[in-house]
């Protein structure tokens, strides 16, 4: 039923892109790719180490290169990093090469899900709430710009969130086919 051969997932840190993406890939019979995990696989080190050595600029260059490569594939569910949308070229690739899902998450939900996470370099040190709010202010319009479908963030288990996402995706695709 998918009008596109690819499903791309964007959204803030802690929205569930990887967890839900895996379940969507399984449901739709597609391959799953997590862009941050691809960067780690290619570099042989965690994303945090890439940030330490190359800074955010170096990381974003790697991210863009891999996004270009991975988005050319057919039949994938691709979970992007939260900041992949910062680059206009990345947004163009996502919009042109797949059906873009925007997983939303409230600040409270992000803080809860990320409470024990110490691996995300952009959240290291300082006030996480303030950092997440600043990221949301910058990135929300960019997610909105390319989203084919918005999945509102709700406090629920991954299984329930995945089932709700599948329902919303299927309804959206049915509306597109009927139009």
The reply to whether 14 sits in an annotated binding site is yes
Q: What is the pLDDT of residues 70-107, one digit of tens each?
A: 999 999 999 999 999 999 999 999 999 999 999 998 88
What are the domain boundaries of the chain? 7-178
The reply to whether 17 sits in an annotated binding site is yes
The reply to whether 36 sits in an annotated binding site is yes
- Which of 17, 10, 7 lies closest to 84, judged by CA? 10
Encode the chain (179 residues) as per-residue pLDDT tens digits.
Answer: 345 689 999 999 888 899 999 999 999 999 999 999 999 999 999 988 998 899 989 999 999 999 999 999 999 999 999 999 999 999 999 999 999 999 998 888 877 877 666 666 666 677 888 888 988 999 999 999 999 999 888 777 788 888 888 998 899 888 887 87
The reply to whether 64 sits in an annotated binding site is no
Q: Which fold does the domain 7-178 belong to in CATH?
A: Rossmann fold (3.40.50)
What is the rounded CA–CA span in Å between residue 84 and residue 64? 7
Residue 111 pLDDT = 78
The reply to whether 165 sits in an annotated binding site is no
The reply to whether 139 sits in an annotated binding site is yes
What is the rounded CA–CA span in Å between residue 38 and residue 100? 19
Based on DSSP, count helices (H) and strands (E) in the chain, helices before strands.
Answer: 7, 5
The reply to whether 21 sits in an annotated binding site is no
Please, are residues 101 and 23 in contact by the beta-carbon 8 Å criterion? no
């Amino acid at each position: 039923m998918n009008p596109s051969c690819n499903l791309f997932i964007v959204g803030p840190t802690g929205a569930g892109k990887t967890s839900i993406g895996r379940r969507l890939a399984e449901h739709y019979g597609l391959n799953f790719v997590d862009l941050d995990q691809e960067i780690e696989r290619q570099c042989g080190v965690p994303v945090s180490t890439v940030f330490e050595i190359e800074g955010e600029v170096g990381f974003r260059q790697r991210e863009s290169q891999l996004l270009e490569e991975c988005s050319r594939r057919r039949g994938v569910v691709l979970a992007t990093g939260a900041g992949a949308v910062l680059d206009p070229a990345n947004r163009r690739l996502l919009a042109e090469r797949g059906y873009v899902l925007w997983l939303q998450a409230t600040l409270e939900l992000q803080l809860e899900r990320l409470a024990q996470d110490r691996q995300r370099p952009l959240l290291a040190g300082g006030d996480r709430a303030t950092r997440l709010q600043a990221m949301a202010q910058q990135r929300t319009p960019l997610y909105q710009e390319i989203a084919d479908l918005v999945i509102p963030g709700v406090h629920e288990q991954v299984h329930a969130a995945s089932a709700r996402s599948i329902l919303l995706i299927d309804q959206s695709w049915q509306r597109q086919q009927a139009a």
